[in-house]
Structure 1
Amino acid sequence: MTIANDSRKPVIADVARLAGVSVPTVSRVLTGNIPVSQGLRERVEAAIKELDYRPSSLARSLRSGTKTMIAIFAASTAAYGYANTLAGIEEAAQAAGYSVVISAVKSADVADVQAALEGTLQQQLAGIIVLDFDPSAAEVLKQLPSSIPTVAASGFPVGQPGFPYAFIDEYAAGRQATEHLLSLGHRTVHHLGLFPLTQFSGRYQGWHDALTDAGITPPPVLKASRAAKSGYEQGLRIAADPSVTAIFCSNDGLALAALRALHEKGVRVPEDVSIIGWDNQPFSEFTWPSLATVAPDFQDLGLRAFELLQQRLTGDTVVRDSKVRPALLLRESTTTASLRN
C-alpha cells in the first residue's frame, strides 16, 4: 500500500494506513507503554521512516518520561507586541528542545479563562508563560495550578505576586519620552491612550509622573481604543485645539492615525504638533515625517521570559525578575515648541 505525496506533514493516521495497522498500535509503538509484536513494530517503524513522520512532542514526552511542551497564554496572537513576544518565546523554546502550544484568552471573564485553560492543561506541560499585558492575564494567573512552573512577561510596573517576571520598563521609557517633549519647550504633553487599560500601564504612569514632577497638572487622557479610527478621531479633535502641541501615544497605530488627521486639517507635524509613538513598528520609520517612538524589544522580552522559566525548570529556588528599559528613537516628528495659529 502506498500513500500519495502531498504538501502537508504526515500525521499518525497516515502511518497507520501505510503500515496496515490501527492508530492505537502506532501510538503503542511510539510511546512504548504497551508491548506490541516484533512484526508490527517493524511495519510501523518502516512506515515512519518512509513518510519521514515526526512524532508529536506529547508522544515523545510519554515515551521518555520527560515533559517537553510549554504553554503560552495570551489575549492576542496578532497585535504587534503579543506576536513578537510569542516569536521570542518560540525561538528560545525550540532551541532548548521544547515545543510550544499557544492558548488565546478572549477576555477576563471567568468562563473565557476557563475555556482557555481547560484544553491546554490536559497536555503534558513542562511549564507555562503568561503574557501579562491585559486584565485577562491576571485572571489566568489566579486560576493556574501551582504544580506547573509558571512565569510571566509584562510591561506593567508590578506583576502578580508569586510569579517571576520578565518586564519591559515602560515607566522609565514613558517618563523619558515625556521629559524629552518638555525639554523642547512644550508647556504640557497630552497622552493619546488605550482607555481604560492605559491608566494601569507603566507608560501612562511615567507620563503622569514626569508632568507632575515638573509642576504640571496632567491633562485628561485622550481616550482611544485599539481601532485605528479612534486615533484618527482624536487627531481631528487635536487639530481643532491650538493648546495641544505635544502628544505621547500608547502605540504607533494611534500615532499614525492621528498624524493623518492632522495632515488633513493642515496642522503641521512637527512644526505645530510634536508626536511620539510606542512600539517601533516597521512602518514608523517610513511615515511622513518619520515617527519618533519608543522601541520595546518584544522578542527579547520573550527570550527573557523563557530564560526565567528554564531557571524554574532546573529547580532554582530563587528566580529574580528581569527588567529592560526600551530605547527612545528620535526621528522627524518632534521639534522645538511653537505657538499654533
Structure 2
Amino acid sequence: MPPTTTRNTPVIKDVARLAGVSVPTVSRYLNGTARVSDDKREKIAQAIKLLGYQPSFVARALANKVMDSVTMLTSLSTFWATTQINSGVESAARDKGFLFGVTSLDGISDSELESTVGRVMSANPAGVIVSESDEIAIQAMRLIPKDVPMVLVGGSRGDAPYQVMPSERAGGRCVTEHLLGLGHQNVVHVHRAEGPNNNTRTLGWRDAMAAAGLPANRSYQISEHLEDSRELGRRLAHDPSVTALFAGNDETAIALIRGLRDEGKRVPQDVSVAGYNDQLFSMIWEPALTTYSQNFVELGRAAFDMLYAQIEAKRAGQMAPEPQCRIIEGELIVRESTAAPRD
C-alpha cells in the first residue's frame, strides 16, 4: 500500500519509501545524472506511477545546477518563420520534459544586449538556441559562456560548431530557375533586409541568374510595410520588360500582385509572381501562389535534438558530440501564379 500521508501531493520521500530505495537514488533516476540498476529503476517507476508523483521542476534544477529548460534568443520574433521554428523547438523540448522559453532581441541596443543575455543565463538554462537573422543575434551568440550547450539556427556555414540551417540560398536559386525555365529572361527580385550571411535567398537568385548568363541587376529591397510592396508593384506594372517577379516572402508576393492589378496587369498572364515560405494563405490566394516551402518546424526540432545531445553528454560527463551543420531542405510548390511569358 502507498504510505499514509497527510499531504495531498506525494513528494520524493514517498517514492523512495514505497520503492524501498534511498532518496538520492530516486533523485539520480529522475535526473539521469548516474546509472541506477534496472531492478531499482523498475521499482521507482512503479512507485511513481502508483503515487501519481510529479517531479518538482525547481528541485531537479537545484540538483542539476541547471534548469531542465532551453531558451531561444531571436530577433524578428513576430515573423511567421520565427514562430514556426519556435513551435518545432517547443514540441521537441516537450517530448524530453524540458520547458522552452523565448527571449526577443527586437529593439535591443548594443548597450542593453549584455545585460539581456546575462539575465537569460542567470536562469541557468540547460542550453541556448540562437536564431541568427541580424547582427544583434551574432553579438548575443558571442556572449554565451563557452561551457553552455548552444546551437545556432541560420547564419553562414561554420558560424558555430553546432548549426542547423534552412536551405535559403538553394531555395532562392530554385525559385529563380523555375521562372527562367518557363522562358522569362528578366526575373526581378524583391526582398526585405536579409541577415549578414552567405545563405540568403537573394544570393540564390544571383546564382541562378549568373548560371543562365543573365545580369542580376534588378533587385529591390523594401520595408516590412506591405503598402510599400504594393506601390512597387504599381510602378513595375508600367515596365514592359518585367515579366516575372520573385518575392522574398509570400506576403510581399501578395502585395506585389495587388499593385500589379491596381494598374490593370494580370497574374500570371502578364506577369508571373512567385513567393517564398508557403504560408497557409498561399494555396487559397487567387491565383494560388507558386512558392518555396521551408520546413521550419523540422528546423526547430532538429535544433533542439542537436542541443539535447550536447546537454546529455555534459550531464553524463562525456565528450561533447562532434561539431556538425545540418541543412533542412525545402521544396518548390508550383501553383497558378507563374506561367510562360506571352509572345
Q: Same fold by TM (over 0.5)?
A: yes
1:44-64 C-alpha deviation (Å, 9 max, x unpaired): xxxxxxxx9x88744441156
The RMSD of aligned alpha carbons is 2.3
Q: In the alignment, which residue of structure 2 is the partner of 1:104?
A: 104
Q: In the alignment, which residue of structure 1 is the partner of 2:132?
A: 132
1:224-270 C-alpha deviation (Å, 9 max, x unpaired): 11221221121111112111111111111111111111112110100
Q: In the alignment, which residue of structure 1 is the partner of 2:38?
A: none
CA distance in 1, matches of 2:196, 2:214: 20
Counterpart of 1:251 in structure 2: which amino acid?
N
Give every structure 1 segment of 4 or more consecutive aligned residues whose post-TM-superposition deviation is greater than 4 Å: 63-66, 196-201
TM-score by length of 2: 0.78
Counterpart of 2:329 in structure 1: which amino acid?
R
1:256 lines up with 2:254 in the alignment:
yes
Which of 299, 307, 310 is equivalent to 1:309?
307
Say whether the 8 Å CA contact 1:188–1:211 is kept in structure 2.
no
Q: In the alignment, which residue of structure 1 is the partner of 2:88?
A: 88
1:116 lines up with 2:116 in the alignment:
yes
Which of 201, 206, 209 is equivalent to 2:207?
209
C-alpha distance 181-165 of structure 1, shift in aligned 2 (>3 A): same
1:158 offset after TM fit, Å? 2.6
Which of 186, 189, 211 is equivalent to 1:188?
186
Q: In the alignment, which residue of structure 2 is the partner of 1:292?
A: 290
1:222 offset after TM fit, Å? 1.4
Q: In the alignment, which residue of structure 2 is the partner of 1:148?
A: 148
1:172 offset after TM fit, Å? 1.3
CA distance in 1, matches of 2:120, 2:265: 51
TM-score by length of 1: 0.78
Paired residues, number: 287
1:170 offset after TM fit, Å? 1.2
1:109-150 C-alpha deviation (Å, 9 max, x unpaired): 422422431321110211000111222211111221112111
1:16-51 C-alpha deviation (Å, 9 max, x unpaired): xxxxxxxxxxxxxxx9xxxxxxxxxxxxxxxxxxxx
Counterpart of 1:263 in structure 2: which amino acid?
R
Say whether the 8 Å CA contact 1:105–1:112 is kept in structure 2.
no
Residue identity (%):
29
C-alpha distance 149-64 of structure 1, shift in aligned 2 (>3 A): closer
CA distance in 2, matches of 1:106, 1:334: 35
Q: In the alignment, which residue of structure 2 is the partner of 1:20?
A: none
Aligned counterparts, 1:57-68, within 5 A: 57-63=57-63, 65=65, 67-68=67-68
CA distance in 2, matches of 1:275, 1:268: 10
1:272 lines up with 2:260 in the alignment:
no
Q: In the alignment, which residue of structure 2 is the partner of 1:228?
A: 226
C-alpha distance 244-308 of structure 1, shift in aligned 2 (>3 A): same
1:281 offset after TM fit, Å? 0.8
CA distance in 2, matches of 1:144, 1:199: 20
